[in-house]
Amino acid sequence: MNNIEADKNIKRKGKKVKIDVDFEGKLSFGERLKMRVASFKFFKDIVWFIFRFILLLGISYVVLLPFITKIAGSFMSADDFLDVTVKLIPKYPTLDTYYYIFTENKYLEALTNTTILSALCAVVQMFTCAVVGYGFSKFKFRGNKFLFICVVFTMIVPHQTLQTSMFMKFRYFDLYGIYQFIYKTFNLGSLYVKNVASTKIWQYPYFNLINTYWPLAILSFGGLAFKNGLYIFMMRQFYKGVPDELEEAAYVDGSGVFKTFIRIILPLSVPMMITIFLFAFSWQWTDNFYTSFFFTKDGLYLMPHIVQIPKTLGKIASTMVNGATYQAAINNTCGLMIIIPLIIMYCFCQKFLVQGIERSGIVG
């Protein structure tokens, strides 16, 4: 009986659909359009579409207007800043600002040095944080939670509190007194020097690592560089989502921990590692904290150092009534020239960045 009733319902529904189709087919296009427009659902969809469009347009305006203003100002000449009618579109567009920043501010040298330093730190931090994050997520050992709390603690402590100690450590670098031991053992020289009063004082043997890549490289290898606590946390969350069965199957096949990590875990981690690389590269690219005391003014020339007024444009600004506005536009142009390489890099790596953030377990 149930099957018979089901067949009857199907036939009734089929007839109903056929009747509706025949009915709509007899109406003209204008009548069918009028029926759809007159419905409440259509009106609700139109109102919701207009509301979303206005909301997104307003947010885009607030976010993009400062960038549009800076870009427009970078193409303005000194005469445009004297003309009160000029707002966003310059009357006398020029590339002089870019030219003098490129030549007088040594942009190419800063670009080369910053690229080498940022790539070095990013690659080292990427692999270091991957190994540390894998250890925290997959291995249970005594003190695991305490060490991870220490990692989180590095994200909380302000870096300014460690500035002096880090500078002195790398200014007079001697890891666990090893260099002093070698100095004494092989008699590499006298450990005493004479001061102004001609008395002997102890001269501590050390390496001066300031104005070299070594301080940032050592911090990156040790997982103590800028934002490394965040990178370790992201890798740990990612590896927690990797099934343990993959590793167990590799162990059964005779692979050790290191071989399993290299041949199975790392290939799965490529999107996440690229995300870590992009974050580390970007933060190091614009870093002005570590580089300000690890590299003195006469040391390595990096991207933050180009943010200054070129001499030629400075002379022009000094003769202008609103020279401060012109100088602000020049500084904004320097900022644009700093972030242009990052924008180009993100255009090619955006897909990996989105995949890495989705798989990190910290979305939302």
pLDDT in tens, 30-62: 666 666 666 667 778 888 899 999 999 999 989
Can you give the pLDDT at residue 175?
Answer: 72
* Res 296 pLDDT > 70: yes
Prediction pTM value: 0.75
- Average pLDDT in the 344-352 region? 82
Contact 124, 275 (CB under 8 A): no
In this predicted model, which residue has the larger pLDDT, 303 or 296? 303
- Average pLDDT in the 171-188 region? 68
Residue 274 φ then ψ, to 5°? -65, -35
Contact 152, 229 (CB under 8 A): yes
Tens of pLDDT, residue by residue over 97-140, are 999 999 999 899 999 999 999 999 999 999 999 999 999 988 88
Predicted confidence band of residue 360 (pLDDT cuts 50, 70, 90): low
Cβ count near 146 (within 10 Å): 8
Contact 223, 129 (CB under 8 A): yes
Tens of pLDDT, residue by residue over 225-283, are 888 888 998 899 889 888 888 888 888 888 888 888 988 888 888 888 888 998 899 98
- Average pLDDT in the 346-354 region? 79
Predicted confidence band of residue 338 (pLDDT cuts 50, 70, 90): very high
Give percent above pLDDT 90 in the chain.
19
DSSP state letters, 123-175? HHHHHHHHHHHHHHHH---TTHHHHHHHHHHHHHS-GGGGHHHHHHHHHTB-G
Residue 57: CB partners within 8 Å, gap ≥ 6? none
Residue 145: CB partners within 8 Å, gap ≥ 6? none
- The architecture in CATH of the region 107-173+209-306 reads Orthogonal Bundle (1.10)
- Average pLDDT in the 176-205 region? 57
Whole-number average pLDDT of the chain: 80
- Reported in sequence order, the residue ranges of the chain that DSSP labels E, i.e. its strands, are 192-194, 200-202
* Res 5 pLDDT > 60: no
* Res 331 pLDDT > 60: yes
